[in-house]
């Protein structure tokens, strides 16, 4: 079995490739990445030496149909897993055209090439942000309406609809996953948890939007990767699977936990003006994937966060080089 992974130099994609090659037996994984700000070869620097010919890298823009078709026809692939995405909300507010190019046009190209090239399974990696914001109660299910709040989440919702249309129109084997907020190693320090860790380590102000009471549902990236592989192998075509670990925390609670673990003062917290369209609360109902595929998370948030903090403290060279390469 060969797998084609797009966006494999980013946070979740690189962890997925490493997870699959370590724990399962695919003949090879081909990683396609454009190496924009969201992806870096530093993140995958160990893969060639660790996995040899089982790992292959190709630099390409997923919105380039000729280049993607060339790559797709090099091998006979069982599955294409699309992690490639512009994913930062603030950046989408500043430059929405980049998100349309990669997240919408790119997904359309991948679906078309996968269909023409005979790739059996297509997994579209989406986000819980397509559902918009929740009130104080309830959780997002797969039947929740799509109500995106930012150019980023709107572009991901559009990509999901293209994927579902490919299933309905062409009977293409497509499965969508929508996950809650990920954390873990190799995450670029513009996201909340790595940013707060690095600021705390450097004794620098830790910017917290608004009142810090926005709620996110956190999942360790390793648990997410296991779920994606389960969906690839056993998920029902045309279906969407929510992935979450039932770890709701306010942003302020996360920041306090990081400070406590590192023994840093709360005076480092710096409340800043809230960003436009900032969703108040996300929470995922993962009943479907638990019931149908037997998946469940293995990390508690407390243990996973502590391990993540320690990883960043030990791997200063990685995040220094990752930041320099942007």
The pLDDT assigned to 318 comes to 81
28-37 per-residue burial string, b: 16 or more CB within 10 A, e: under 16: bbbbbbbebe
Measured distance CA(142)–CA(58) in Å, rounded: 34
The pLDDT assigned to 324 comes to 60
Domain ranges (residues) in the chain:
2-188+218-246+281-299
CA 53 to chain CA mean position, Å: 26
Measured distance CA(263)–CA(286) in Å, rounded: 34
pLDDT tens, residue by residue, 105-121: 999 999 999 999 999 99
Q: Quote the tokens at residue 118.
A: 């005979």
End-to-end alpha carbon distance in the chain: 34
The pLDDT assigned to 316 comes to 85
| Active-site position among 55, 77, 152, 186 | 152
Nearest Cα to Cα of residue 247 among 211, 197, 283, 279: 283
Please, which pLDDT band fits residue 87 given cuts at 50, 70 and 90? low
Higher pLDDT, 37 or 168: 168
Measured distance CA(257)–CA(89) in Å, rounded: 24
pLDDT tens, residue by residue, 205-225: 999 999 999 999 999 999 999
The pLDDT assigned to 269 comes to 97
The pLDDT assigned to 191 comes to 87
Is 128 among the catalytic positions? yes
Measured distance CA(144)–CA(219) in Å, rounded: 20
As a three-state string, the secondary structure of the chain is CEEEEECCCCHHHHHHHHHHHHHCCCCEEEEEECCCCCCCHHHHCCHHHHHHHHEEEEECCCCCHHHHHHHHCCCCCCEEEECCCCCCHHHHHHCHHHHHHHHHHHHHHHHHHHHHHCCCEEEEEEEHHHHCCCCCCCCECCCCCCCCCCHHHHHHHHHHHHHHHHHHHHCCCEEEEEECEEECCCCCCCCHHHHHHHHHHCCCCEEEECCCCCEEEEEEHHHHHHHHHHHHHHCCCCCEEEECCCCEEEHHHHHHHHHHHHCCCHHHEEEECCCCCCCCECCECCHHHHHHHCCCCCCCHHHHHHHHHHHHHHCHHHHHHHHHHC
Q: Quote the tokens at residue 315.
A: 């791997």
Torsion sign, CA atoms 88, 219, 154, 70: positive
CA 294 to chain CA mean position, Å: 21
> Does position 305 have pLDDT exceeding 60, yes or no?
yes
> Does position 98 have pLDDT exceeding 90, yes or no?
no
Is 22 among the catalytic positions? no
> What CATH number was assigned to the domain covering residues 2-188+218-246+281-299?
3.40.50.720
The pLDDT assigned to 99 comes to 85
Nearest Cα to Cα of residue 178 among 147, 145, 141: 141
Higher pLDDT, 190 or 304: 304
> Does position 189 have pLDDT exceeding 90, yes or no?
no
| Active-site position among 33, 56, 61, 128 | 128
Please, which pLDDT band fits residue 86 given cuts at 50, 70 and 90? confident
The pLDDT assigned to 175 comes to 98
The pLDDT assigned to 135 comes to 82
pLDDT tens, residue by residue, 30-83: 999 999 876 789 999 999 999 999 999 999 999 999 999 999 999 999 999 999
Is 170 among the catalytic positions? no
Average confidence score pLDDT of the chain? 93
> Does position 275 have pLDDT exceeding 90, yes or no?
no
| Active-site position among 33, 86, 129, 285 | 129
Q: Quote the tokens at residue 323.
A: 């930041």
Percent with pLDDT over 90 in the chain:
79
């Amino acid at each position: 079995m060969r797998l084609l992974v797009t966006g494999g130099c980013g946070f979740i994609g690189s962890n997925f490739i490493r997870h699959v090659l370590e724990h399962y037996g695919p003949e090879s994984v081909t990683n396609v990445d454009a190496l924009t700000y969201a992806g870096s070869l530093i993140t995958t620097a160990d893969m060639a030496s660790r996995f040899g010919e089982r790992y292959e890298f190709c630099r390409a823009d997923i919105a380039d149909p000729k280049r993607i078709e060339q790559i797709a026809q090099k091998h006979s692939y069982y599955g294409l897993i699309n992690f490639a995405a512009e994913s930062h909300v603030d950046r989408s507010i500043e430059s929405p055209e980049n998100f349309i190019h990669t997240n919408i046009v790119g997904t359309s190209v991948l679906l078309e090439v996968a269909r023409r090239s005979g790739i059996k399974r297509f997994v579209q990696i989406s986000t819980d942000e397509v559902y918009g914001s929740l009130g104080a109660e309830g959780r997002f299910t797969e039947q929740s309406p799509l109500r995106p709040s930012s150019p980023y989440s709107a572009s991901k919702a559009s990509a999901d609809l293209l994927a579902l249309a490919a299933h309905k129109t062409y009977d293409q084997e497509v499965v969508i996953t929508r996950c809650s907020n990920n954390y873990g190693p190799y995450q670029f320090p513009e996201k909340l948890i790595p940013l707060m860790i690095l600021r705390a380590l450097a004794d620098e102000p830790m910017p917290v939007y608004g009142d810090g009471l926005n709620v996110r549902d956190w999942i360790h990236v390793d648990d997410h990767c296991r779920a994606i592989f389960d969906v690839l192998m056993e998920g029902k075509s045309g279906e969407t699977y929510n992935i979450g670990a039932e770890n709701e925390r306010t942003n302020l609670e996360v920041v306090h936990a990081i400070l406590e673990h590192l023994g840093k003062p709360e005076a480092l917290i710096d409340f800043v003006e809230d960003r436009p369209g900032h969703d108040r609360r996300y929470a995922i109902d993962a009943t479907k994937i638990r019931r149908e595929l037997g998946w469940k998370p293995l990390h508690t948030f407390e243990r996973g966060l502590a391990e993540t903090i320690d990883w960043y403290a030990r791997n200063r060279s990685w995040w220094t080089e990752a930041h320099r390469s942007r």
